[in-house]
Chain A
Amino acid sequence: MTGLVTAHSVVDPSPLTKRIAAVVVIAYAVITLVPLLWIVMTGFKSPSDAIAYPPKIVAEPTLEGYCNLFTTRSRQAPDYMAKLPPPSGLCDRISRDRNMVIAGPSNYIPRYVNSLVIAFGSTALSVVLGTLAAYAFSRFKVPLKDDLLFFILSTRMMPPIAVAIPIYLMYRELGLSDTRLGMILLYTSVNISLAVWLLKGFMDEIPREYEEAAMVDGYTRLQAFFKVVLPQATTGIVATAIFCLIFAWNEYAFAVLLTSGTAQTAPPFIPIIIGEGGQDWPAVAAGTTLFLIPIVVFTVLLRKHLLRGITFGAVRK
């Protein structure tokens, strides 16, 4: 450093700038979170409170929405209800109060498990394939490199509805229709373009000198890739994985057109949760809340990588 030492470095914004930035960003965050909070709160309301006017901010909390999400129920005559043994659990008691009897579990859990398997499977595959391809595109002379990169991107431009028909016919021939493997491969093929493009950007920012130094020290090109480049690229790989995960977890068009039962994911299922006389909003809200949780947890765990991250071309160990 020179003799001129200030309280903060020249590129550090002034306290006032920081305070204004904080106020604006926090205001945006609060406004943007209101709909999400409303979803979570609606999950704990009774069906009548959920559709009250004016909207009820404070309502008697109940687990009815969650009970309705996980079960199917049937309405019974009062004399039949009177003959039943005492209710065996919370959900049983809640449904008895509505003159209903639990008929069995709903399809929510199997759909949710499908979502988990398909999202994580396709993310892992996209990131592995994408990292390899991105490294090759970043470091080597590949003939027609720009054309290949553009080709990879162009596969993302096809509207999913358009791809769905031939995919359906093809999967029927191969026995992949309505299977988790089929959906994993399909989602991977969609995600790979994002993975290659983002990762190539990250790889480009890692100085080549690191690998060259490692290779001078006797590493092969592959060893340099695994032991030097990959650790440097961790932040970028994680950020890319999150993007892929979000896509696969959320995908609806293919899921609604190509899966009907065994491999159906949660997104096509949640909107069709209906109760008596229309949509069961507390149950939909409960299903939505549970659907959101794993991604929130995952993002919060990786927060530091995401934020500190993306600078890593400049960061040295």
Chain B
Amino acid sequence: MTDQTGLSGLVDRAALVTPPVVARRVRGLSERAIAWLFITPTMLLLLAINIFPLIWTIRLSFTNYRANRPNATVLDVGLANYQSILTDPDVWAAMTVTARFVFWSILIQTLLGFALAWLIDKKFRGHGLWTTLILLPMMLSPAVVGNFWTFLYQPQIGLFNYIISALTGAPASSFQMLAQVPLAPWAIVIVDSWMWTPYVMLICLAGLRSIPDYIYEAAEVDRASPWRQFWSITLPMALPFIMLAVLFRGIENFKMFDMVNLLTGGGPGSTTEVASITLKREAFEKWRTGYSSAFAIILFVTVFGLANIYVKALNRVKSR
């Protein structure tokens, strides 16, 4: 086997350099010991860099601490932060904006991504090259992409407006994707879908390719129509993969910050102010650290709860 990847070479070398002494010593290790040996480093890292900060955030959420005034007296305010967040109409507006953004972006990406994966799985000539090209947008940083799409969305000089005006006949300066209330949310959904449809596609493709040929061969023997094969073999067997892709995109888009921050910064007004933008304003512009910690906890509990329900459904689909 030629070593094209470097990584597989590394793995082979790691296997070769496992010293015989170590190997002999661990021969006696029980499977249970190996399991803990393998899991513990991951858990320690997560405890140090995720759980410890989470506990810190919870503690701060019950105080009026401000990170820009480290020497001020910190008062315990009880549940006051939580109370004012849950009764704040701006917070509810941000949650609505976030929910709409998550729904539309995921719907578009899943439909497009699965359709593309299904077509690519037809294995036409050159599908490898085109798949690689389709994957390119998701390689870019959302921040860099958001920044550059502001250039494409420029009303007068932007390529996007120019193409739309060439297709529809409307003057290129007659609409502003990022500055008009009805258009700005769609401007973000377009960029997000442009970037992340390939991601959903790649995971769907993995799902489609995990379906063994013999199942289709059996269906063919039973003279099942292509339509029937799609609904009773392809879709159900790829479903756990599709659901996994939706889960990851859902969580990522719920937390969406970078692209929106660079495209609209939450504007015009607060039309595109998703939860993370509100959080950034509270935490790093108004410096209400305690208040924003409470908001962060509420966001976390929301995603955690929704994802928990979702993963249960995913497991049910998988075990079917």
A-to-B contact residues, CB < 8 Å: 9-13, 17-19, 21-22, 24-26, 28-29, 32-36, 38-39, 42, 51-55, 127, 129-130, 132-133, 135-137, 139-142, 146, 148, 150-167, 169-170, 185-186, 188-189, 192, 194, 196-197, 201, 205, 220-223, 226-227, 230-231, 234, 237-239, 241, 246, 249-253, 256-257, 266-268, 270-271, 279, 281, 284-285, 288, 291-292, 295-296, 299-307, 309-311, 313-314
Is the CB–CB distance between B34 and A159 below 8 Å?
no
Is the CB–CB distance between B49 and A186 below 8 Å?
yes
Count of A-B residue pairs with CB < 8 Å:
335
Binds A, one of B73-81, B176-184, B300-308: B300-308
Question: Are A300 and B132 CB-contacts (below 8 A) given A165-B289, A310-B206?
Answer: yes
Contacts of A32 in B (CB 8 A): 133-134, 136-137, 194, 197-198
Q: Which of A52, A223, A238, A295 is close to B23, meaning CB atoms less than 8 Å apart?
A: A223
State whether the Cβ of B124 lies closer than 8 Å to any Cβ in chain A. yes
B-to-A contact residues, CB < 8 Å: 4-5, 7-8, 11-12, 14-15, 18, 23, 26-27, 29, 31-32, 34-39, 41-43, 45-46, 48-54, 56-57, 60, 67, 112, 116, 119-120, 122-128, 130-144, 147-149, 151-152, 154, 156-159, 162, 172, 194, 197-198, 202, 205-206, 209-210, 212-213, 216-217, 220, 244, 248, 251, 254-255, 257-258, 261-262, 275-276, 279-280, 283-284, 289, 292-293, 295-297, 299-300, 303-304, 307-308, 311, 315
Q: From residue B10, how far is it (CB to closest CB) to chain A in Å?
A: 9
Contacts of B257 in A (CB 8 A): 159-161, 252-253
**Interface SS, A side:** helix
Is the CB–CB distance between B123 and A18 below 8 Å?
yes
Contacts of A170 in B (CB 8 A): 52-53, 56
Closest 4 CB pairs of A and B: A162-B296, A252-B143, A250-B141, A310-B206
**Interface SS, B side:** helix
Is the CB–CB distance between B119 and A25 below 8 Å?
yes
Q: From residue B58, how far is it (CB to closest CB) to chain A in Å?
A: 10
